[in-house]
Amino acid sequence: MKRILGFLLMFALFFGLAACGGGDPTVPTETNTKTASITGTTPVTITVGDPFDQLAGVTATDSETGDITSSITVTGAINLNTAGSYTLTYKVTGSDGNEVTVTRVITVLTAEGCPVNQQKVNGICVPIAPTKIVIMHGAPYEVDPFHADFSGTEQLERQQKQLEVETRLNVDIEYKAYPSNAPWGPDRVTAIVQSSVAGAHLADVYWSVSDWIQGLAKGDAIVPIDKYLATTGANIHPSYLEIGSFQEQVYGFGAGKLTVDTGLYYNADLVASLGVDNPTELFLDGLWTWSRFEQWATQVQTALTAQADDMYALGGIVALYAENMIPLNGGSLLNANTGRVAFHQNPALETYAFLNTLYTKGLFELAPAYDAGSPQWQAGKVAMHPGNLWFVNADNRWGGLEFELGFVPYPRSNTYTGDYVSPVSGVAVYHIASGMTPAKEALVFQVWNELQIWQTDAQMELSFELSLMTKFDKEEYVEAYLSIYDKVYLELINAIGISAYSENGWRRNANLGIREGTARTLMDQIKPIYEAAFENYLNG
C-alpha cells in the first residue's frame, strides 16, 4: 500500500510540475516510428537448379529521402543445388539513423518438387529414411557431444552442429567403440581389414593413428580423399595432409593442425631446491645446448648424490632422447624427403655418442620406464624426464604428481644452426572406409567435415596457448612451448611395419647401443632391414 501511494504521489507531482511549466521542453517525445522500410521480402519457394535473385522485387524507401533500395545489404547464403530451407536477412539504415531488419525464408525443393529429405512416391512427397553414418573411435566419449561422459570442448556448439547436419543432410550419426577383437595396434588394423574383405565394414569413418595407414591402405580398407581436398576438404591443414599421406595419396586427416607433443619435463620443486640454473630460462636465453645440458645434468647429479644414492638427474628411456635430439643435430631416422634410412649417419651417430657420455657418467637412472615413468620419477627422486604434453593432466600418467612440472624443449647440438624441429608420428587421424558407393562416400566425408569446428591459424594458436595455461603453473613454461609449438616434421620410423621394440627394432637397438657404446655396430646391422621395409612402404 505504501509503495502504491508513493507512486501516485510522484505521478501527481510530475504532472503538476508539467502543468506549471516545470518540464524540460528540450526532451523530445519518444516514438517508435522509423523513416525506413523494406518491402517485397515474402517467402519464396523454388526448385533445385532454378535461378534466384535475392534482390528481385525487394525495395527500400525512406519517408524523408525516398528510394534507398541500393543501400540494402543481404546476409545469409542459399545453395541452389541442395534442397532445404534457407534464411536471408535484409538490412537498411534510414535517414534517422535507425536500422531496419527483415528476414525472409527461401525454400528450395528437390527436382521432384519435394521438400528436403523427401521423395515422390505415386505422386506424393514422402519422407526419406535418414542415412546412418557410423564413426568408430577408441573412446567415443571424447568425440560424441551427446555422450553422458563427453570430455571434449564446446559441447553445446558441437551438439547444435550435429543436429543441424543431421537435419539438413538427412543423416543419423552414431558413434561406436571398437569391438573387443580390435583393442589397438596390429589387432585393430587386422579387424578393420578383415571386415572390409568380408564386405561388412565396422564403420564408415575410422579413428586410428597415422602409423597404421600403410596396413589399412594396402588392405583396401580405407580410401584416399584427394578428390575432395579442393572442395569439401579444403579446411584440412597442410600438416595433416602430410602426416596422412601414403604413396602420394592422402588417407588420413584431422581438424586443427599438428603441434609439438614431446619435450623434457622436470621436477621444478626439486630443481629449485638444488640451486642450479632453471632449464626453461636457459632455453629462453638461447643457452640450451648439448654442452650446457651436460653441465646442468652433472651439477644436478652431484647435488642429488649428496642427498641419496637412488636419485638421478635424468630419467626415462635413452632412445626417446635420441629420437628427439637427432633432428636438433641436423639428422633424422627415416628421411621422408629423400626416401633414405638415416639413423646410421653422422648426425645420429654423434647423438648416440653424446648420450652414451651422459649415461657413462651415471646421469641416467638405472631402471627407467616409458610414459608414466619409474617409481623414482613418480616419487620425486628424478629431476628430468621425457614425455608428451597430454601426460601432464592424465590420471594414468602425471596428473597425480605431487610436484610442480616444468617444461623445456630438447637441447640443440652446439653446431646445429637450423630451426627447432620435433618429430611427429603415431598421430590420431580419421579415415573413410572403402566399399561405399561414390555418393555415400562423398556424403560421409562431407558429414565428418561439417561436424568439425574449424579455426584460422591465429585462432588455433590462441586455443593452444589457452590449453597450455591449464597445464602449466608458470608463464615461462607456456612461453617456451609456444616458441616451438608448431615446429614439427614427419618421422616414419614407426610407420613402415617394423615394431620399435622387436629384435631388429630401432628403439630397442638404440637403447642398447647408447648404454653399451655399440650404437654404430647395431645401427649398421638393422639398416638393411629398414631399407627393405622403407622401400616397400614408399613404392611397394
The full DSSP string for 172-194 is EEEEEEPPTT--SHHHHHHHHHH
pLDDT in tens, the chain (540 residues): 333 333 333 434 333 433 344 444 444 444 458 999 999 999 999 999 999 999 999 999 999 999 999 999 999 888 888 888 888 999 999 999 999 999 999 999 988 898 877 888 888 998 888 999 999 999 999 999 999 999 988 999 999 999 999 988 899 999 999 999 999 989 999 999 999 999 999 999 999 999 999 999 999 999 999 999 999 999 999 999 999 999 999 999 999 999 999 999 999 999 999 999 999 999 999 999 999 999 999 999 999 999 999 999 999 999 999 999 999 999 999 988 888 999 999 999 999 999 999 999 999 999 999 999 999 999 999 999 999 999 999 999 999 999 999 999 999 999 999 999 999 998 999 999 999 999 999 999 999 999 999 999 999 999 999 999 999 999 999 999 999 999 999 899 999 989 888 999 999 999 999 999 999 999 999 999 999 999 999 887
Contact call for residues 304 and 311 (beta carbons, < 8 A):
yes
d(CA 347, CA 414): 12
* Sheet strands side by side (includes 312-314): 312-314, 382-388, 262-267, 405-408
The residue assigned the cell 648404454 is 515
- Cell digits of residue 108: 528450395
**Cα dihedral 27→29→32→37 (10° resolution):** -90
| AA letter at 17 | L
pLDDT score at 32: 58
pTM: 0.75
Strand partners, 264: 386, 408
Structure confidence at residue 163 (pLDDT): 95
Q: What angle do CA 436, 442, 448 make, to 5 degrees?
A: 105
Report the DSSP beta bridge partners of residue 428: 209
Pick left, alpha or beta for residue 55 (phi over 0 → left; psi -120 to 50 → alpha; otherwise beta).
alpha
What's the confidence (pLDDT) of residue 502? 93
Domain at 36-109, CATH from 3.40.720.10, 3.30.70.260, 2.60.40.10, 3.30.1490.190: 2.60.40.10
Cell numbers of 423, please?
618429430
Residue range 262-424+471-539, CATH number = 3.40.190.10
Burial 102-112 (b: 16+ CB within 10 A, else e): bebebebbbee
- Quick one: DSSP state of residue 69? G
Closest CA to 286 of 415, 405, 412, 407: 412
- Residue intervals in the chain for CATH 3.40.190.10: 129-254+428-455, 262-424+471-539
Give ∠ CA 481-483-488 in degrees, rounded to 5: 80
129-254+428-455: CATH class: alpha beta
Task: Report the candidate in 137, 110, 253, 169 with the shortest Cα–Cα distance to residue 440.
Answer: 169
Q: How far apart are CA 243 and CA 164, in angstroms?
A: 31
Q: What are phi and psi of 290, to 5 degrees?
A: -60, -45
Compute the distance between CA of residue 439 and CA of residue 223 in angstroms, rounded to an integer.
14
Element (H, E) at 84: strand 84-93
Alpha-carbon separation of residue 434 from 250, 285, 446 (angstroms):
14, 51, 15
As to burial, measured by CB atoms within 10 angstroms (0-12 exposed, 13-18 middle, 19+ buried), residue 299 is: middle
Q: What is the pLDDT of residue 81?
A: 85
